[in-house]
Amino acid sequence: MFISLLLLFVITIGGLSLTYLFADDEPLLWRLCAGNIVGSVIFGLVCFVVACLFGFTPLTILISLLINLLPLIVFKRPEFRAKLLANWQTAKGQMENTDLNKFLRIAFYVFFFIVFWLFFERTMFETPIGISTGGSQNLGDLPFHLGAIFSFTDGQNFPPQNPSYADAKFTYPFMADFITASFIPFGAKVRDAMMVQNVFLSFSLLVILENFTVKLTNNRLAGKIAPVILFFSGGLGFIWFLNDFEQVSKGFTEFLMNMPKDYTISDKFRWGNALTTLFVTQRSLLLGLPLTLIVLQKIWEIFSWKKENAEKADSPDEAKSSTFSPFLISTFIIGLLTGTLPLIHAHSLAVLFIVSAILFFFSAERWREWIAFGVGVAIVAVPELFWAMTGSATNTNTFFSWHFGWDKRGANFIWFWLINTGIFIPLLLFGIFLTQWNNKEKDTKDKSQGIKLLLFYIPFVLLFIISNSAKLAPWEWDNIKVLIYWFVGSIPFAAFALAWLWDKNNILKAIAGVCLAVLILAGALDVWRVITRQIDYGVFGTDAIKIAEQIKQKTAPNALFLNAPTYNTALALSGRRSLMRYPGHLASHGINFAEREADLKHIYTGDAAAETALKKYNIEYVLTGPEVDNYLKEVSLPFNAAFFQKFPVVAEAGQYKVYKVN
């Protein structure tokens, strides 16, 4: 754990230094959290490029860490040292002479940090019977991410091939997993590296979302409410929870400690709580979302053109007079960071493209800033996209088709969104109304800012419409990778509505409290189910762990294996390449695996086409075991043990055997 914390600290310091080049007046806590995100992005990209050129070694990682620290050079300039000192003095002063407000502010962060720690320690844990997960939606995703991580650490997968589909480029946004992998050569355990990374990414997202909300609404209470809505997001599932409680004879406490299911994700509920269905399963989003919020905050600065964002200028014309003004430079730097998104979370880049294109239309007079941003994006993103799109097995034609209502599964559209998000949309609309109504009696400039806030929200409305009109991925549920940005872009308005109610009288204060409870109760129940350790799903047994260790010792890092196409194949723990793994993952990535699966069946059944199929792919090893038996039973085919008797067994553990076939 200490090693992971130390490496993350070094990464954060480098990123924190860079924040002084693109963010002017921000507190130290925000800079630390943004530094974690920015530092991770820079370190990951640099280390990846160096590893592709020279291999993935501790020296490679150390060189990348040193490069990541280069932004510290900014503190040679007195103005940046002064800002750092001012940030430190302000933060120090906030910790002194603690009153009730300061205590509550600290308690807010401590509470969430504890929640994140307790939650993410259940992502993966080892028991005497193997590796398990405490996330109800993480059963298939944990092996996928472990397979990616071990492909880097033990498979020397550079330039990376898809570990789940050999000889095809790994186009899944793998940067979060790659950063985790970079901690392991220094002695960090994979569980500790994942947990530390997840906890601090989540905490960084909390602070960045809080700051983003305050920038938009100018309301600090709304800033505190926004992360609560995100991390405990849910719909009306708590009503079904109460109904389930009425059907059993248990006491409430006993039922609460032994809940039978989740209440934000099921056949009826498709939105899912952000922590339980997105951040623990889609690690790329956990890095991509806070980075995107940093970018969106800068886009808001360009679009709203506040004085403090224009070099403290007296007018926009003065700011435009300098071709290379600090604001232009900071916008260019943000563009460079945005350009890294193809390897981090490609859907985030698509979202930012839509947002930027629409807002540019409404603020073309800021063309210098938009061009600086666009050039920065293109410099990094175009090479990444070109690299990712060449040699990929992904069929892009499967990523779009008209499909109304997202994943409503025949339900009424309005009813579907009501039970999945509860009163969120009504609060959102009320918040939008309040942001405009509050500006009615203010001066012309403030009125203009209110209108700009409304225009700023238009792209997020479009994201909602697009995601409910078309399928943006082979699996329609994956539209949530775009819908989450509609949600995050809407949260500041809903949070502002609750803050406005709270600031009025006691009756409205009570209404605000009830509304917040309705918004988060279902999500809180799902999070509670995880942190109280009610879920223990076995993923890999002890024999699977043992056979994976033997495979690491007895086969070459780039060896090609045939294994059962299941989510929890033991081969995922070895880092070796698979002819194919879980069809559910492959299909969701737009990969046509039908031919390979047919050949896989030929080999395991040992029919007349088996030898031809082995030579066709130049398969070196075949893994047999419980997953193969279960898979063949599901497809009603026999396993031909006699066919494999002519091949030598190079590794064996329990029911698992590895045959060398080439």
Task: Give the burial class of 75: count Cβ atoms within 10 A of its Cβ; 0-12 exposed, 13-18 middle, 19 or more buried.
Answer: middle
Kindly state the helix (H) or strand (E) to which residue 514 belongs, with its residue range. helix 506-531
Asked if 528 and 253 count as a contact pair (C-beta separation under 8 A), the reply is no
Cα torsion 166, 553, 631, 146: sign: negative
The DSSP line for 495-511 is HHHHHHHHTS-HHHHHH
Cα gap 490→458, rounded to integer Å: 10
The first and second tokens of residue 139, run together, are: 């059963």
The DSSP line for 417-440 is HHHHHTTHHHHHHHHHHHHHHTTT
pLDDT 10s digits, 592-651: 999 999 999 999 999 999 999 999 999 999 999 999 999 999 999 999 999 999 999 999
Query: What is the mean pLDDT, run by run of 10 residues, along the chain of 662 residues?
Result: 95 97 94 98 97 95 96 95 94 83 93 98 95 95 97 95 94 95 96 97 98 96 98 97 94 96 94 97 96 98 68 44 76 97 96 97 94 97 91 84 94 96 97 84 62 95 97 94 98 98 96 98 98 97 97 96 96 97 94 96 96 96 97 96 96 97 94
So what's the pLDDT on residue 324?
Answer: 67
The first and second tokens of residue 4, run together, are: 């992971």
So what's the pLDDT on residue 440?
Answer: 61
So what's the pLDDT on residue 438?
Answer: 72
Residue 31 CA from chain centroid, whole number: 20
Asked if 338 and 376 count as a contact pair (C-beta separation under 8 A), the reply is yes
So what's the pLDDT on residue 308?
Answer: 44
Cα gap 519→490, rounded to integer Å: 14
Asked if 369 and 333 count as a contact pair (C-beta separation under 8 A), the reply is no
Cα torsion 494, 497, 503, 509: sign: negative
So what's the pLDDT on residue 450?
Answer: 85
Q: Give the three-state DSSP class for 370.
A: helix
Q: In sequence order, which ranges of 339-389 are alpha helices (DSSP H)?
A: 346-362, 367-389
So what's the pLDDT on residue 315?
Answer: 44
